[in-house]
Amino acid sequence: MAPPRPAHVQRGGRGVRRDPHRDGARHSDLRGLVRTERTVARPPPAITGSDLEDALVALSARNVYKIFGRQPKKIIERLKQGVDRDDLKHMGTAAVIDASFDVDPGEIFVVMGLSGSGKSTLIRTLNGLHPATAGSIEIDGVDLAKAPAAQIREIRRKKISMVFQHFALLPHLTVLQNAAYGLEIQGVAKAERLERAREAVELTGLGGWQDSVPAQLSGGMQQRVGLARALSADTEILLMDEAFSALDPLIRREMQDQLVELQTTLGKTIVFITHDLNEAVRLGDRIAVMRDGRIVQIDTGEKILSDPADDYVARFIADVDRSRVITAGSLMQRPAATVWAGSGPAEALRTLKNEQVSAAYVVDRRRILKGSVYDDELLEAQRRQVSTIDGLVHEDNTAVNVDTPISEVFAPAAEARLAVAVTDDDDKLLGVVPRISLLQAMVPPETDDHTDVVAEESAPETTDAETTDVEAAAATDAGTATTEEATR
């Protein structure tokens, strides 16, 4: 059983039970998660009792530290006393400091930060390539921080796969053979591993290239091979470390689209590392923002944009395209007035007068949106002694779904006489988005500190030598490195 979930650690993903200690509501749609609570990493109270039975997660990290140096215990002790990590550089490097989070089954959990923030070191602690100095990392009930090496290797082979930034393909093997290499290391029979690899190659759009070698492929195609290799292993969890960062912008966008498409089909649990906020909000169900080895906020991209945890996060997100992240649901307000379908003109006019508006949306008893009515037409109908407003309802009103990004709301807002209606998947009226709210949403939050966000002068998260060693270790476990890397 996973250790108690801190109250500040929110949950995401699809098809999982709600955390009883979080008030934020969420929609089940993949791209439409909306939460109402900001998450800042702080020491939280534990959850006890029956709540633990409801806390099902794919991966659980608690108070994880990763210290490089000869005095790790002393560094951790000083950090807990509040000493800044920069003041401890003479003792070693605190790459990850007190990181706690859960990743739910089927969730894309993005870890984002600048160079030196600790994100790449963190992801390597999740599969034991960088053993955690302190804390716990649980996968399927096994704490990798305490498990023996043989058990960790077994988890890498059967439970968790990794996709590296630089592809890590074996140059003398074909696409199909590279995709099957992890299964070969596992000892899977040749016929079965080739069949599973062939399915993964087809899924990633490389069906016509399975007999080609990496040198014959573009960068994007090579990255697809790396993804196919991870998929063929059929592990529950995928770790993707800057997987698309080396690609050209257009190819990168294609790979992002493909990952989202694959996720809707396969429902893998994915931890994705990136320094690109636009990529993070495009892919992630939730995003963890790191700075100086610490997680400073965990939330949906939309919530991070609308309610950043501190000035650092606010400056970090200043240049993101807010219109593609913020949804209509996060801006909607209660309608000033609604009129029941079947009402008489006099009753409808009285409603408009009481709320001092000239028009209103019409809903039935289930609050299904039927259209809109206007005061001038209601007055004329009253003079003609029309019994109901049914013939006056304009059914061509523009409405948007609660999960619609506001980039798609501006056009309807420009044409509509009323604030844009927001509905759920059953056309039930949930609220309205006034034009002024759209404009205000495009303005980044003000910050008190106007210093620029720059990469700190700390030691890099993972040096080139460390990266080579790490990828070589992964190759030995699951076939994810080149021949040269595996030899080192």
DSSP codes of every residue in 240-309: EESTTTTS-HHHHHHHHHHHHHHHHHH--EEEEEES-HHHHHHH-SEEEEEETTEEEEEE-HHHHHHS-S
Q: Checking phi first, is residue 300 left (phi over 0); if not, alpha (psi -120 to 50) or beta?
A: beta
Cβ(139)–Cβ(481) below 8 Å: no
Cβ(301)–Cβ(325) below 8 Å: yes
Residue found by looking up tokens 């080396």 in the block: 246
- Please state, in angstroms and rounded to a whole number, the distance separating the CA atoms of residues 488 and 485: 5
Residue type, 184: E
207 pLDDT more than 90: no
Binned at pLDDT 50, 70 and 90, residue 32 comes out as very low
State pLDDT tens for residues 412-468. 888 888 999 999 999 999 999 998 888 888 877 665 544 444 444 333 444 444 444
State pLDDT tens for residues 69-116. 989 999 999 999 999 999 999 999 999 999 999 999 999 999 998 888
List the one residue out of 214, 234, 233 whose CA is nearest residue 224.
214
Q: What is the pLDDT of residue 343?
A: 93
Q: What is the pLDDT of residue 448?
A: 56
158 pLDDT more than 50: yes
Half-sphere exposure of 264 (CA within 13 A, CB side): 10
Q: What percent of the chain has pLDDT over 70?
A: 78
Buried (b) or exposed (e) across 271-287, using 16+ Cβ within 10 A?
bbbbbbbbbbbbbbbbb
DSSP codes of every residue in 38-102: -------PPP-GGGGGG---SEEEEEEEEEEES-HHHHHHHHHTT--GGGGTTTEEEEEEEEEEE
* 65 vs 455: which has the higher pLDDT: 65
Q: What is the pLDDT of residue 60?
A: 95
- Please state, in angstroms and rounded to a whole number, the distance separating the CA atoms of residues 98 and 61: 10
Give the global pTM.
Answer: 0.68
482 pLDDT more than 50: no
List the one residue out of 402, 353, 297, 373 whose CA is nearest residue 27.
402
* 328 vs 15: which has the higher pLDDT: 328
* 391 vs 457: which has the higher pLDDT: 391
- Please state, in angstroms and rounded to a whole number, the distance separating the CA atoms of residues 157 and 230: 10
Q: What is the pLDDT of residue 126?
A: 94
Q: What is the pLDDT of residue 320?
A: 78
Torsion over CA of 78, 82, 85 and 90, rounded to 10 degrees?
A: -40
Cα-Cα end-to-end distance for the chain: 37
Mean pLDDT, residues 275-302 taken together: 91
Question: Which domains are seen in the chain, by residue range?
Answer: 106-132+149-320 (3.40.50.300), 330-442 (3.10.580.10)
Average pLDDT, the chain: 79
Structure tokens at 369: 């949106």
Query: Which residues touch 74 (CB under 8 Å, ≥6 apart)?
Result: 91
Q: What is the pLDDT of residue 164?
A: 74
Mean pLDDT, residues 336-345 taken together: 93
Lowest mean pLDDT among 22-31, 135-144, 373-382: 22-31
State pLDDT tens for residues 163-179. 876 667 888 999 999 99
SS3 328: helix
